[in-house]
Amino acid sequence: MEPTYISGSSARINPFVYFLRSPRRGDVVAIQQAGRLELKRIAGLPGETISWSGMDLWIDGKLLEEPYAQKTPGAPGEEKRLTELGTEEYFVVGDNRLYSKDSRLYGSVKAADILGKALASHTHV
């Protein structure tokens, strides 16, 4: 999630915010993935169709504006892929797109796997 969060730094997690509302696009959340706690950004919401090629994401056919994302110019792209999110599924990505292991690799995240919202530690979120 660099540069938003620096590797090795600590971030506070609010586990209660999603009792009051659903995660929103752009939220940075803590998820449990393969036995590890990871921070990822919500890109796709339940019921949406997500497609991606290389580092760009489209939501229901419209390119997602991501001012927080670090996209490496000239980075190798991949074939365009498509996924439809279920009623309790989210598409999450890392801000450092070239090195992020996220929903583009392991698929959508269930709402139950979102542990809470990450609160800014030292930079903007």
CATH number for the domain that contains residue 38: 2.10.109.10
> What's the pLDDT score for residue 125?
39
pLDDT at 7: 57
Through-space distance between the first and last CA atoms of the chain, rounded to whole angstroms: 11
Q: What pLDDT, on the 0 to 100 scale, is given for residue 75?
A: 54
pLDDT of residue 123: 46
Query: Domain total for the chain?
Result: 1
The burial class, CB within 10 Å (0-12 / 13-18 / 19+), for 16 is exposed
- Any domain includes 124: no
| 5 is a domain residue | no
For the whole model, what pTM was predicted? 0.83
Q: Is residue 60 part of a domain?
A: yes
**pLDDT on residue 56:** 86
What is the structure's pLDDT at 63?
A: 93
Let me know if residue 4 belongs to a domain.
no
Low-confidence ranges of the chain (pLDDT < 50): 1, 123-125
Domain of 114?
12-119
6 lies in a domain? no
